[in-house]
Structure 1
């Protein structure tokens, strides 16, 4: 990508972030205006996407536009047009805001000490990737994976450790794109409720993964990542701030709070640790760092168009694909479908948008739908050889998709059972 394109796109997305926060906190204008800079950046990003990404984006945009055009001849609801213009602005701006946290560095990231060896070190790596990933997203996988790769080829067991630690974040993290999409496509879902049920599910997944990892052959000879309690203060602090802030200001979107918290934290951290260099570091990130999210930004914007088109089409045709009532059984079936769609190559952003659009008319408890979407995201990216994190691990560390699938299908099957029980318990307690 040309530097001029990256720089201009970076400032466009920064403008969108500012507009989104002003809309959410100051109510100065309608939020859909923040989508316009996102669409401009999307058009600039498109020529630089990979061929596979271009095909997916074109498909999503085409289906969305067809739905809107059809609806225009059948009393089109302007709400759907505004939804398309908004371009999933709250999720995109959260992505941009959280992206600034990549500028944060910790002592373990910089250390050159020998890597610890054995079962305990791999379990620490699993938990560390999970806690770092809950805030830093994909960066955690690459930071830890590259550190392991310096010592020698990353093994399948280490690759599974990276994948599981990251994917489990989707069950609960307010800084994860999955949470943003769940809250957007299950309007009315409460962050506190999703976290309350997501954390126990995550703990079960971490225990199962740890048990699975330590049973692998030659695990006593494998290196882990040197993570200690001190290095984990940042994700714990930020998650706590967001949760407390949401309790104090429930009318402000969780996604806006996540973005604002990320920006304030990294601004203070750079000012205290980098001094005059803080401005230079920030400018470099705007000029080149933000553009590294081109694929995700374009996909989220295209998914907004798809969501608007699907909703328009269903409304115009008066199609009722959803069950009469979205209860525990419907949630269990939806979860299975989301996992299957992920394995076929559908991005979770797309499947979540479609599920939200189709099921909306029958949903009386948005928390149940939100939990289902989060679970489908986590298990889907764990099992699918086409998920972004899997593709990164496959290409960067030369681990075959077959090996990852072979090590993960039993885990996903077991966790599907755990998720079924969690959804059933929630539905029973909230009947």
Structure 2
């Protein structure tokens, strides 16, 4: 079953990549995605299976209800089930093969500067290899003892802020799929600036958490070897998007991730490059089954909502997608996360609600990415908090409460960031 799942996920990745040249290949990827969701229901745990089944059930019911109410749906639309997002996630996972997983250099930094350096290192890794960065940095900081709450809070904040700007995160891919056409350069510049400001504002709380132990803190080393892959990939994606703006960003990310991985493996491993790729596809891709099943199920839900919502005369109390509306949308996603709703679900719902406002794609995607990133850190049932709980024994409710300071910093800093984004587009 795991082999079948690996083959289906590899098929999605290849078909999405091929759709850059052959647009109809995305329909093949959509078919693979639906099959992956079905197989994934057999592989995930009971809680994930229930959530995915509910999402799929609501999505199918929405389609049926839409047809009963006189709605129409194009056959191709039934296969738009987040395949670009899933293909991108699978492709980005290959970057672990060429990303350093341990400290490369030693420095004499201690105390506050070491905290800041650790935050930047977790952020740089998280921007490219996503959730894998949490394990890499967390295992190093834990050493032979348990991970402290201060380090868990630091990792969660530094890692989650990567969602604000990184094109390698599911946040950008999901939002760009729902409202395509965003300016990637503006997203990177404004989102990265906001991420650094938010980290700077919330890191003072980490200093307080360490108390008297702060002067001896050494943390995780930031080195050129660690950041060169993220920098190269971001530059490549932004350049490619400017040259071929009609190609969706998730597909550019997919091709860039696979290309950089292959080139890196050829340099590092020569003839063993293809074997390393095949081994990762066979053994590591199935480990994404929880995320992939959720995203595929949310894709089915999005299909149903896109068909059903236009049939109702939902009058929003606003007439345009302004900065206050974008900020409110972001806040709604965060509130949903606090009660256990995954951001991939909340972003699909808010996208369907604001669609009649014809939102500016760049402003929408930035607000969605901020909402996704903050939700990741403060939601008690997100993948990040569950990983920190299962792997390091960090109580998710305690971490959520501690990260409310980060939430406040993000809410305050996001308003001028959204204003800047609106001014640039």
Shorter chain as denominator, the TM-score bin is over 0.9
1:94 is the counterpart of 2:88: yes
Q: How does 1:56-95 map to 2 (within 5 A)?
A: 56-79=51-74, 82-95=76-89
Secondary structure in structure 2 of the residue aligned to 1:78: coil
Determine helix, strand or coil for the equivalent of 2:102: helix
- The whole-number CA distance in structure 2 between the counterparts of 1:223 and 1:390 is 24
Match of 1:296 in 2: 291
C-alpha distance in 1, partners of 2:362/2:273?
A: 40
TM-score scaled by length of structure 2: 0.94
Alpha-carbon displacement from aligned partner over 1:55-112 (angstroms, at most 9, x marks no partner): 1111111111111001222333223x53342321111100111011121242x62769
Query: Which residue pairs with 1:9 in the alignment?
Result: 5
Partner of 1:147: 140
* Range moving further from structure 2, 315-324 or 95-104: 315-324
Unaligned runs of 5+ in 1: none
- Partner of 2:246 in structure 1? 251
Q: Is the 2:104–2:225 Cα contact (8 Å) retained in structure 1?
A: no
- TM-score scaled by length of structure 1: 0.92
CA distance in 2, matches of 1:93, 1:422: 30
Aligned to 2:17: 21
**Long gaps (5+) in structure 2:** none
- Equivalenced residue count is 423
* Contact residue 202 and residue 405 of structure 2 kept, 8 A: no
Q: Map 1:326-341; keep pairs closer than 5 Å.
A: 326-341=321-336
Instruction: Tell me if structure 2 keeps the 8 A contact 1:322–1:361.
Output: no
Task: Using the TM superposition, give the Cα deviation of residue 116 of structure 1 relative to its aligned residue in structure 2, in angstroms.
Answer: 7.0
Instruction: Map residues 31-430 of structure 1 onto 2, 5 A cutoff.
Output: 31-79=26-74, 82-106=76-100, 109=102, 118-216=111-209, 217=211, 218-321=213-316, 323-427=318-422
Equivalent-residue separation in structure 2 for 1:429 and 1:225 (angstroms):
36
Alpha-carbon separation, structure 1, partners of 2:56 and 2:347: 16
Are the aligned partners of 2:9 and 2:87 in contact in 1 as well (CA < 8 Å)? yes
Distance 1:428 1:37, change over 3 A: closer
Write the deviation string for residues 291-313 of structure 1: whole angstroms up to 9, x where unpaired.
Answer: 11101111111111111111221
| Cα RMSD for the two superposed structures | 2.1
CA distance in 2, matches of 1:427, 1:113: 42
Runs of 4+ residues deviating >4 angstroms? 110-117
Measure the CA separation in 2 of the matches of 1:104 and 1:322.
49
Q: Is the 8 A contact 1:10 1:286 kept in 2?
A: yes
| Counterpart-to-counterpart distance in 2, 1:82 and 1:220 | 59
Q: Which has the higher mean CA deviation after the structures are superposed, 7-16 or 383-392?
A: 7-16
In structure 2, what is the Cα distance between the partners aligned to 1:133 and 1:66? Answer: 37
